[in-house]
Amino acid sequence: VGVITDPAAVCIAHGLTEIEESGAIDLDSAGNTSSSWKNVLVIDWGASGLTATHIQRSIPNSYSLLRIVRHATEASCAGIVIVNALVAHCSSMFERKNRVTGLMDSVKAHHRLEMACETAVRTLTRAPTVTVAVDGLYEGMDMAVPVSRPRFDMLVSGLLRKAELLLQTFSAEEFDVVLVAGNVCEMPAALNLIRTKLFPNAHTGRGDVPPEEAVA
């Protein structure tokens, strides 16, 4: 019985283990397929944190084993930390508007707000604005806090900076392919950091593999 690690599963999902087969990704305009790659960086950024793994195949154009060269993890960049940043913002706005305190001390209200913020974060991956709304959130008062994507990006800017520092420890010129996995990579700010700022020249893999489904 073999065990496939998450980074290896992402490579398989993107067809990097295929050899001249239909569906294998192109690495350049010359028509070279996935069989030509040697170094790939798998960025798995989800609920449990950010993990970057350098995978290498020693023999191109073969089914040779994938070797993990190194990996780095930053738990403080976890998806729940992103949600908590929005929770804190919405709580502050609600208390300021209604001149109350103690929202975060209410277990029920905190849980309901957290669920609403989780939904809002997912919505902001595809929409420019969202309203975090909860009826009767605290002491019978409703909450409706509008959040724009730029405002949200500002709320998580510190977390994005930590992610950038971690990923900068990997040389951009070293990788033929950079693959992403995890629901945080659905965020435009996170994807822009990876694709545009840090690894602009690396191949991105198959476009029909959603980051949150790459491991599954």
DSSP state of 22: T
pLDDT (0 to 100) of residue 36:
74
Separation CA 55–CA 2 (nearest Å): 18
pLDDT (0 to 100) of residue 33:
40
Separation CA 117–CA 182 (nearest Å): 18
Separation CA 181–CA 158 (nearest Å): 21
pLDDT beneath 70: ranges in the chain: 1-4, 19-35, 58-64, 216
pLDDT (0 to 100) of residue 37:
81
Separation CA 138–CA 116 (nearest Å): 14
Q: Which of 184, 193, 81 is nearest to 125 (CA)?
A: 184
Q: What is the pLDDT of residues 129-178, one digit of tens each?
A: 999 999 999 999 999 999 999 999 999 999 999 999 999 999 888 899 99
CA dihedral of residues 161, 163, 168, 174 (deg, nearest 10): -150
pLDDT (0 to 100) of residue 25:
47
Q: Which of 153, 130, 145 is nearest to 90 (CA)?
A: 145
Facing residues of 203 across strands? Answer: 177
Q: What phi, psi does 4 have (nearest 5°)?
A: -100, 125
pLDDT (0 to 100) of residue 24:
44
Separation CA 132–CA 118 (nearest Å): 10
Q: Which of 84, 89, 78, 80 is nearest to 45 (CA)?
A: 78
